[in-house]
Every structure is written in structure tokens, then in C-alpha cells.
Structure 1
Amino acid sequence: MVTILPKNGATGVDTNGTLKISAASGKLSGIAVTGDDGSKIDGTMSGDGSSWTPTGALHTGTKYSVVATATDTQGKAVTDRSSFTTLTPSATNIANFNVNPGDTYGVGMEVSLNFTSVVADAYKASVLKAVTVTADPAVDVQGHWFGNSRLDFRPQDYWAPGTKVTLHLHLNGVRTGQTGYGKQDKDVSFSIGRYQVSVADNSAHTLTIYSGPGVVRKKLPASLGDPDHTTYNGKMVISEKDPTVDMNSQTVGLGNAYRIKDVPHGMRLTTSGTFVHGNYWRPASVFGSENTSHGCVGLRDVQGGGDPSTPAAWFYNASLIGDVVQVVNSPDRIVSPDNGLNGWNMSWSAWTSN
């Protein structure tokens, strides 16, 4: 009465599309699929109760035991058992992610995954199904592919302060290429902190910090990119914080323009090298009156960063990874959404059109 595929004792079984349970007559009334790694496989029953298939991928290199029961129209139950072992892939694709369990981030934090190998176009949909981000209070969170190895997640608008966010990685057994499979199966939870969004005005030479929409907390004098090295416009998210940064112009394609090994209070805004940072080598008079940087947002500081009363130290101590810094009134273009965690510069319709 009950048929279980693959057959009992099978080895090297693919993790996708091979497990199928059916009843020739009657209805399936109970299915249990458990792995020797402790995993339990959920599935979907057909409308007439005659067949069952798993809702996700099986784990790689795992021996599964199946117990399936079917009941006929007279109420007679028949149970069948089977076991099989899934394949061990020749290549494993790991998703490196940018959030730490238990940490607190700003309202603009994007969850970003970078895969160690490319994800083929044919398997992007199944990967996106296996990786999800949920929030409490609930909000719609969607993923967007940047190329074939980066997958970012964000809601339509900034996170609400106090939101609890969980990244669900259920990639074990999910195919990512002809020979590559995912391996991770874990949840990573973190929190969203207070609201802080700052606006760096290229024309006014200021950095205004908002503690709520339209609520100014502080305004700091700043110096942005000079006319030959303008600062990107757009919304940029702080992705790293470092007390001291070694800044070398050669790493950003500017030749031997500068090499400052002890730039204090560095907060990265783009992968290409845009920072908010302290500046001790310019006179205090330029902040608030003149743009003198090579594209960064500079704030007055002292060498070594040891004075907590300086604007740079204050902003560094007040900021979280995930806070947004928006540059306005610059003659430069809008920052590319994949240059850092800057997907907020895409419309929601563009973000969700994978």
C-alpha cells in the first residue's frame, strides 16, 4: 500500500527531489523522516492524501529513517519503514554573514551574505527560499542578489527601534551549482537599537544627527570631499568601526596622495573607502566652512583620538554599526547600492525584482 522512494538501503541520494512517499490506495496518515544528525524533515501532503514530499532539502551526508503509515477506507492502517543515505558533495558553498548573535545594530542595518563560491542562476531561487530573515514585530523582509555570490536582506523602510531580527540559514543540502551544495543550518538573532540617522550636507559643511524623524540631536561642523575628490551622495550605512585606521591613497586609486597610519575614529561607509573619521591634520577653521577631504566626511579630532570632547570622538561613541549617514548636496553621483551596505538607495520595487 505504501511506496517509499528512494529504495531502502540506497546511498548517494540527492538532497533535492528524490524523497517521495505515496499510497496506492487509501490515504497517508502519518509520516516521520528523521536524520542521524537529529534533523526532522517537514513535508507537504497532497490534497487527496495520496502522496507526500519534503518542503525543503535533505541534509548532505546523512542517513535518514522513514516511517510512513497509510489508512484505507475501512480504517485499516499499514506502516512501512525505510532508510537511505544522502550524498556527500565534492564542493561545499559557505555563506559568510555580517551579523553577530546578540549584538545590537542601527536602524539601517542590512543583512549581507557573501558565498565562498558563485551561486548559479538556476539555483538562486532555491537558495533564496532556504535563507530568510524574520522580525519581531513582524515586517516584510526581502532579499536581493548582487551578482552571483552576494545576497542582502532589508525591509522596505528602516527597522523600527527595538526590533528583534533573526537570520535563518537552512542551506544544508541546497544545491548552489553543478557540484556545490550548502552546509549551514543555523539561526542568528540580533537586535535593532535606538533611532539614529545623520545627514552630511556638502554645501553647509555640517553633519546633523537625528534621534527621530525630524528630531535633531546634534549638529557638528564637518569637511567633506574637495572639488577634485567629491563625496558620494546617498544613504550609506556604517559597516565597520575602528578606533584607528591606516589610510593609504593607493588602496583607493589615488596614487601617492596621502598615507596616514593613525586616522582616529574611523567609521566605514563604502567598500571603496568612504569613511566618517576624525581629522587632526587640518586646522579647526576648515570644519564647517570648507570641503578639504578626498571624499570622506571629516570631523575635528586630535592625534590619537584621546579627547572625548571632540566632534569625531562624540560621533564615534554615539554611533552603532548599522546607523545611516546620508550625504546631500554633493556634486557627485548617488552611491552604488552594492558599494557597502547601501541598498537603501534602491526603490522597493527594484529591490524585490530578483
Structure 2
Amino acid sequence: MKYRLRSVVVAAALASSSLALPVVAHAVTSASQPAPVSLPETSSTEKPSRANIEITPRDGSAGVPLRDGVSVTVHDGQLTSVEMRSISVGKVISGRISPDGKNWRPDISLARGTEYSIKVVAKSHMDDGVVTGESNFRTVDA
């Protein structure tokens, strides 16, 4: 049986630094069959995940602060609309979506002891599909 020596160049990283040095590995194979070689997998293209809407406060919350207690954030997507209303009188609470489309906050402080509703619509980066979210909550009484 005839054998030959094959060289495979493999990149190895030093444990103590980010510097990569080439390392030569030798495999002895028969002339009729190549030696199996394990190479690092190539990085695959990751698909973005579906949009995830995060509304603060959570649905059913009570005692929400009048200022800085409300926010909307979307991950892996972009906000297309946010509507916040006082439930008792139906008054729309103004707010702004950030320039990058990831965040929303109300422009004003909220009223004490008032129930509010937030309805959110976002577009998913994954498939341009629509994702919705909703939260109803009550602010602090006193």
C-alpha cells in the first residue's frame, strides 16, 4: 500500500491574544482515499427575527408614574404607529416616534388616577409583516 503526506493549512488563534497564526497539520493517507479534513464552518447568513414590541408599563399595571413611566420599544422592526388614549374620555395623548423608528414616548406628563390604553403597530424587518401590541394601565392615584 502506498502512502503520501498531505498538508493542510489551518488558522489557529492564540488563547492569549486575538492574533491568528497559520498552523500546518499533516495527515497520512492512502493513495486511493483522501484524508477527511475538518475545516471551520463558514458563517451562515442569519435571518432577522420577527419584530418584538416592548410596551412599558405592562398590560394591567397600576400605580404607573406620571412622568417617564411609559415607553414603547421595538426590536427587529420599526414602529409605524403608536396611539395612546385616556380610556375615560378618549383623549389622544401626543407622542413621537424616534427618527430611527425604534422608540416612542408621550410628550406630556399623565394625569393622576387615570386609565390609559396604548395600541402599537410595527413593521417586521424579517418579512415586512405587521406586528401589533397593546397595553392598558392606570397611573398613580396620589
TM-score by length of 1: 0.25
Aligned equivalents of 1:66, 1:42: Cα separation in 2:
11
Q: Deviations over 1:199-257 (max 9, x none)?
A: xxxxxxxxxxxxxxxxxxxxxxxxxxxxxxxxxxxxxxxxxxxxxxxxxxxxxxxxxxx
Higher strand share: 2
Structure with the greater alpha carbon radius of gyration? 2
Offset of residue 47 of structure 1: 1.1
Aligned equivalents of 1:35, 1:25: Cα separation in 2:
29
**Secondary structure of the structure 2 residue equivalent to 1:82:** strand
How many residue pairs align between the two structures? Answer: 89
Larger RCO (CA under 8 A, 6+ residues apart): 2
Could you tell me which of 71, 74, 78 is aligned with 2:131?
78
**Secondary structure of the structure 1 residue equivalent to 2:122:** strand
Aligned to 1:49: 101
**Secondary structure of the structure 1 residue equivalent to 2:141:** coil
1:32 maps to 2:49: no
Aligned equivalents of 1:2, 1:88: Cα separation in 2:
28
Aligned equivalents of 1:26, 1:49: Cα separation in 2:
8
Q: CA RMSD in A?
A: 1.0
Offset of residue 58 of structure 1: 1.1
> Percent same amino acid among aligned pairs?
28
1:62 maps to 2:114: yes
Aligned equivalents of 2:53, 2:77: Cα separation in 1:
9
**Secondary structure of the structure 1 residue equivalent to 2:120:** strand
1:23 maps to 2:67: no
Aligned equivalents of 1:59, 1:28: Cα separation in 2:
25
Stretches of structure 2 that go unaligned for 5 or more consecutive residues are 1-51
Counterpart AA for 1:33:
M
Counterpart AA for 2:54:
T
Counterpart AA for 1:71:
K
Aligned equivalents of 1:49, 1:12: Cα separation in 2:
28
1:1-354 equivalent positions in 2, closer than 5 A: 1-38=52-89, 39-73=91-125, 74-89=127-142
**Secondary structure of the structure 2 residue equivalent to 1:81:** strand
Aligned equivalents of 2:57, 2:72: Cα separation in 1:
9
Counterpart AA for 1:72:
S
Offset of residue 37 of structure 1: 2.9
Counterpart AA for 1:36:
I
Counterpart AA for 2:139:
T
Counterpart AA for 1:51:
N
Q: Deviations over 1:292-321 (max 9, x none)?
A: xxxxxxxxxxxxxxxxxxxxxxxxxxxxxx
Offset of residue 9 of structure 1: 0.8
Offset of residue 82 of structure 1: 1.0
